[in-house]
Amino acid sequence: MELNADFTQPVRILNADNPWRASPSAGVERKMLDRIGDEEARATTIVRFAPGSAFAPHTHDGGEEYIVLEGVFQDEAGDFPVGTYVRNPPTSRHTPSSAPGATIFVKLWQFDPEDRQHVRIDMNTAETAVDSSRDGVSTVTLFEDANERVALEVWAQDASHVLEAKDGAELLVLDGTVTDSDSVMGARDWLRLPPGGQATITAGSEGARLWIKTGHLRQMIDG
């Protein structure tokens, strides 16, 4: 299966326009954003787990990166409530579950094969710092290596800047709204820009909290 697999093109998906679809696992629904492969795939997805969902132990050969958007996601390492950012690197193994139910934004098979760094950050309490190059924006790095940077950004009301995607970029709206060209994007809306792309992002009247990943898509074009 291929979905939004042309990484030379921008993609914008509004959550309200993307219906839930059943997965092969009982109690699990998903909204696919991009995908290359079938059930074992390079994929970016919003996944909803029904209360009481539990899953067989498994190894993430290609790594797993996720944000808890709703509820509580759980495994042997603990409980991960709304606002938790997690990276489980290649070769990591866990047994996920969710007693109360959960919704997560998750990326699979998108890690450097040599990455072995576990990351668990509560973005609700992460301390952002003012970005001196962009008025009205404060940011904190969640993860960074030679291939990519992942950040939480807080945009003040009406802050407006060009997002330069030299090596590609993804943006997920966590809270608030932003305008990209003529489209208003709210919570759980997603934008992917190709290498060399750009977009003018303007925060709405209540500002916005954004998850932004940059630098990671050049390999999808260069091979």
**pLDDT of 219 above 80:** yes
Confidence at 221, pLDDT banded by 50, 70, 90: confident
* The pLDDT of residue 178: 98
Top CATH class of 129-222 equals mainly beta
Q: What is the CATH number that goes with domain 2-122?
A: 2.60.120.10
CB atoms within 10 A of CB 145: 14
**pLDDT of 223 above 70:** no
Mean pLDDT confidence for 55-83:
94
List CB contacts of 119: < 8 A, sequence separation 6 or more: 85, 86, 87, 142, 143
175, 184, 208, 152: which is closest to 69 by C-alpha?
175
**pLDDT of 205 above 90:** yes
**pLDDT of 17 above 90:** yes
Among 45-49, 151-155, 215-219, the range scoring the smallest mean pLDDT is 215-219
Gyration radius of the chain's alpha carbons: 17
Tens of pLDDT, residues 87-108: 999 999 998 889 999 999 999 9
5, 2, 3, 12: which is closest to 193 by C-alpha?
12
Instruction: Say if CB 39 and CB 22 are below 8 A apart.
Output: no
Mean pLDDT confidence for 108-120:
95
* The pLDDT of residue 20: 98
Domain with CATH 2.60.120.10 in the chain: 2-122, 129-222
% of the chain residues with pLDDT over 90: 87
